[in-house]
Amino acid sequence: MLRPLCTTGLTVATLFFAFSLTPSLVPRPFAAQGLISGLSFTAGYALGVAGLWLWVWLGIPQWRGRAAFWFRVGTAALCALVAVVFLWRAAGWQNDLRALMGMPEDVGVRPLGVGVITVLVFVGLLFVARLFRLVFGVIARQLRRVIPPRIAHGVGLVLAFMLFWSVGNGVLFSKALRGADNSYHQWHITVQPEQSPPQEPLRTGSEDSLISWEALGQRGRDYIAGTPSAAAIEAATGEAAQTPIRVYVGLGAAETPEQRAELALQEMLRVGAFERSTLLLITPTGTGWVDPVAQLSAEHLLGGDVASVAAQYSYLPSFLALLVEGEYGVQSARALFQAVYGHWRTLPEDERPALYLYGLSLGALNGGRAFDAHDIIGDPFAGALWSGPPFRSEVWRDITAERQPDSPIWRPRFRDGSVVRFMNQEGGLERGEAPWGPYRIAYLQYASDPVTFFSPDLFWRSPDWLQDPRGPDVSPALRWFPVVTGLQVLADISAGEAPRGFGHEYAMGDYLAAWAALMGLEHWSPARLARLAEALEATR
């Protein structure tokens, strides 16, 4: 357990530590930087040790004596110099990235804090690795008494791995997950003192509603309470408006996704949702959250003549929901789609509302998987807006892979643009070789969004989004390094600090432009959209 550290491993680890200080997609706090640096240092050490072992195993001669000593000294000095230079430059890189995103300068990466966290992470992981080796050695020695050595080593390795996996996954992870589950569940069911049920009979959660205020859950109560009044919409747009309809079904309102979907449909019929000109079918994120920026932008553009419906399928954050309830979100989205679309298609074509789908992040993933072409080919709905689609979205990946060769991955052009179009901060939905047809799919994505542009192969291959031309919000100083860049972008997903308009934070102005283009609201000129965005931002 107290064996000396490998010089080769420390050399590679120091280089990985230095690389980890370079910028990634979004700015990050120093604690996240320390964690990334610690993981990068550990990964570099492991690769260095593995490389040395392979060198020895292959029988390649090694330097001995004074030559080996001076080589180690020179290498250590060079690595230390590289680490110091990168650590000195780290604050500048982070502030350059913050300036690109319109954020104030930070105090820096706090070298001492980053160093301490790096050492703690490395020591902790090194302890686990050496404990694994110790357990493996004990098991292998016992097995060598009854079976040949090579077989004993193989079996011992498998048994040690199974033991550590069962402890880590079955005990530590499951307890942590249960703790998180209990914590989020308690928060979800607790009604805050300042939240009171709506008095209007047509509001979900009122006394006349089919869904109680308590059954909405915390996210549902926030969603309903955030409904803008007709007066507020009129003040922002300068035009006559009505109060939009919002329907939400919380996770505790019914037992199964199908029952919640049917409850949502009955509530929609009760409040007259199908009598509005536009209907939004929303798939929320893992916690049941619906981005109010997206919601408010559509409601103001349509003068409140819109009804929206969403059904919760989890109260865990999206990354946990995806990990432990991956298929449950799809089941919920599919059940709600079938219930709402099934009723919608029975209505006369000239009387029913225009039906659009919307989802952000995990909502975009599950919403896109709620139907396929066979479901809608005979009677398609109007379209869908997917913002920040996760890298796991199969449809998004296929469309992006089949983009026109001269279009960048961060804003692809797909075929002739008659069905699918992409946009970012600089637009894009207006581009198309053919007119945008009656059935429209729009993707709103930023080049700096780690949820969209992370992929497992980042650990061993440079991504297409680093090729020229880069996205307008990707730092020119960003470089790809094996293993390290994958860790950086993975950390960006949960620990990034991007403002609205960058990363995974989608801006009001971009949502307004996306909805206006998707819905064909040509009377909303760019100048009017900009004024509305400014007015809405002032009220938030």
Q: What is the pLDDT of residues 160-179, one digit of tens each?
A: 777 666 665 555 555 555 55
Residue identified by tokens 């198309």 is 432
Kindly give the pairing relationship between strand 278-283 and strand 354-360.
parallel
pLDDT at 316: 67
Q: What SS3 class is residue 108? A: coil
> Is residue 85 within 8 Å of residue 78, measured between CB atoms?
no
The region that residue 436 occupies, defined by phi over 0 for left and psi between -120 and 50 for alpha, beta otherwise, is: beta
Q: What is the pLDDT of residues 227-237, one digit of tens each?
A: 999 999 999 99
> Is residue 125 within 8 Å of residue 40, measured between CB atoms?
no
**Percentage of the chain exceeding pLDDT 70:** 89
pLDDT at 175: 58
Mean pLDDT value of segment 87-93: 85
The per-residue DSSP string of 419-484 comes to SEEEEBTTB-TT--SS---SSEEEEE--TT-HHHH--GGGGTS--GGGSSSPPTTS-TT----TTH
Least-confidence region, from 101-115, 223-237, 363-377: 101-115
pLDDT at 190: 58
**Paired tokens of 167:** 């402890």
Mean pLDDT value of segment 14-34: 91
Residue 261 CA to residue 275 CA, distance in Å, equals 19
Q: Between 90 and 380, name the one with better pLDDT.
A: 380
Residue 137 CA to residue 291 CA, distance in Å, equals 53
Q: What is the pLDDT of residues 236-275, one digit of tens each?
A: 999 999 999 999 999 888 989 999 999 999 999 999 999 9
H/E segment holding residue 135: helix 111-143
Q: Does position 151 have pLDDT exceeding 70, yes or no?
A: yes
Question: 194 φ, ψ to 5°?
Answer: -80, -5
- What's the distance, Cα to Cα, between the start and end of the chain in Å? 56
Spatial CA neighbour of 181 closest among 249, 248, 247, 251: 251
What average pLDDT is seen over the chain?
87
Helices 149-167, 111-143: axis angle to 10 degrees equals 130
Planar angle of CA 213, 219, 220, nearest 5 degrees: 40
Q: Does position 278 have pLDDT exceeding 90, yes or no?
A: yes
Q: Identify the band that residue 1 occupies on the pLDDT scale cut at 50, 70 and 90.
A: low
pLDDT at 187: 47
Q: What is the pLDDT of residues 60-83, one digit of tens each?
A: 777 677 777 777 778 778 878 888
Residue 311 CA to residue 303 CA, distance in Å, equals 24
Residue identified by tokens 């307008």 is 472
Q: What is the pTM of this model?
A: 0.89
Amino acid at 118: T
Mean pLDDT value of segment 484-498: 90
pLDDT at 108: 58
Residue identified by tokens 């922002």 is 236
Residue 470 CA to residue 139 CA, distance in Å, equals 52
Could you say which DSSP state residue 250 is in? -
- Residue 197 burial (CB count, 10 A): 18
Q: Between 238 and 180, name the one with better pLDDT.
A: 238
Spatial CA neighbour of 375 closest among 340, 328, 420, 327: 340
